[in-house]
Structure 1
């Protein structure tokens, strides 16, 4: 699993951080998503997929490898 984020689409809702705090964070100045781990362990897959599904701006893409 590989994660791709589009910071330009991010609206700073923070749903990704709530779903997968080990993988996502937010910039302090504007709340835009920050990817902490582009290749998280397989055990995190369900949380990462939930984060992508919760994103109101569809700024997170999960790519199967």
Structure 2
């Protein structure tokens, strides 16, 4: 089960640097998580200032 980023994302980029496998990238207006690369560690969710990241 991969993590997902909701519309609450403000594109601050804090999650991208926290991902140990590089599954997060800038998308169209917000960041996105590649479900095939995500290892479900939750590092991104813990650092998101808006709480936009959650388990799918």
TM over 0.5: yes
Richer in helix (by share)? 1
RMSD between aligned alpha carbons?
Answer: 2.4
Contact conserved, 1:3 with 1:39, CA < 8 A, in 2?
no
Distance 1:35 1:19 in 2: 12
Show the counterpart of 2:34: 36
Q: Which has the larger radius of gyration?
A: 1
Distance 2:10 2:33 in 1: 15
For residue 38 of structure 1, report the CA deviation from its aligned partner: 5.4
Show the counterpart of 2:14: 15
| Runs of 5+ consecutive residues of structure 1 not aligned to the other structure | none
Distance 1:24 1:39 in 2: 9
Aligned residues: 55
